[in-house]
Amino acid sequence: MKSALKIAIAGLGTVGGGTLQLLERQAETIALRAGRRIVVGAVSARDRRRDRGVNLSAVRWYDDPVTMAADPEIDILVELIGGSSGVALDVIDTALAHKKHVVTANKALMAEHGTRLAEQAEAAGVTLAFEAAVAGGIPIIKTLRESLAGNRLSRVYGILNGTCNYILTTMRESGREFGEVLGEAQKLGYAEADPSFDIDGVDAAHKLAILASVAFGRPVDLAGVYTEGIRHISRLDIDFAEELGYRIKLLGIARLTDHGLEQRVHPCMVKRGTPIAAVEGVFNAVVAEGDFVGRVVLEGRGAGAFPTASSVASDLVDIAAGRQVAPFGVPAAGLAATPGAAMEYHEGAYYIRLMVVDQPGVIADIAAALRDERVSMEAMIQRGRAPGEAVPIVLTTHGSVEAAMRRALDRIAALDSVLESPRMIRIEDF
């Protein structure tokens, strides 16, 4: 067996602690699969007294993780600090500059700096691995980059944020409103005290930008991801979706269109019978569609200490075994400058919910606004009669262009009989 591979771990939070425990418990299995032992030689964390479930008395501690990244005795730097810049970025830059392999679970950093870091790693002749950065324990990066390498992919989509999926699932099952369920998610530890990163779609956008780069061989383009969260989803929308045969999910979707690569994160209505609709609670799922393989669905835990540590270990084993591939599937110089498709060109069906005054002529005015923008209505739901009172009206449309749909909604919102901004959810045909 080859000599042991020595790693340094920067950051011993939830994932760092889980990684330490996995490497200790699975040491023999990992050594067999990697062809050599993987040994933790150094760590860096702010609190030395915290119990990580592993004896670290024989491991070198560094107060400064950047100094640790330059340690000549270390072969691989594992970055688990988090954050798109600052210390995390300095640690990775330093490790690559000293020709050390890097494994990271940092989605924000890879979404913003991934292309440059891939170029730097290739120039140094080392690996930059980030399986743990997207969807926790689901091996989606390796699946797209390696297992599906013989396919031309047309679409990649999925549930990329467990917090949002938990909230939407619980709203449907309990009949409660968004704010109440969010508070429960925070108490359970599924949502942060400031939940905006999750519920506004930012976390999912980071992950989608990485997936799109791997799937379609283009530079990472976080700025090109259209992002919309779930704050505006109400119990009414959940109930109407059920009545219409749909489930509401926050999805990240990347697909090739005639206008370029579409990257978007937003709530979607999906048919109840589709695989993605059945993914509930904090679970994640990713679907890839290729020309030879057809549809591939991966589902699992998208976060947490051990699922994410599982992906970190996968990257470590690959490096130890000498399996080295370009970070994004093709050399950085070969990443194609595929143009991005603006959201205004998106074509699809829509769900629209309106709160209107129940009075004669309301439906005719709404229909006229849709007609003038060449938006074709598929179905309408109106509950009972309450003359002079506020009532909800729900419309679904046939396939329409986003720009036309938005113009129609602007006209509808300006009607005196419409009491609040129209709520729009895109309907996806999977």
Residues labelled as active-site residues: 207
Q: How many CB atoms lie within 10 A of CB 300?
A: 17
Q: Is 376 helix (H, G, I), strand (E, B) or coil?
A: coil
Cα 136 to Cα 83, 139, 317, 377: the distances in Å are 16, 8, 17, 40
Handedness of CA 322, 299, 302, 199 (dihedral sign): positive
C-beta of residue 15 within 8 angstroms of C-beta of residue 311: no
DSSP-assigned letters across all residues of 26-87: THHHHHHHHTS-EEEEEEE-S-SSS--SS--TTSEEES-HHHHHT-TT-SEEEE----SSHH
Q: Is 372 helix (H, G, I), strand (E, B) or coil?
A: helix
Q: Which long-range contacts (CB under 8 A, 24 or more apart) does 408-416 make?
A: 408/369, 408/370, 408/372, 408/373, 408/375, 409/352, 411/369, 411/372, 411/373, 412/354, 412/365, 412/366, 412/369, 412/370, 415/356, 415/362, 415/365, 415/366, 415/369, 416/357
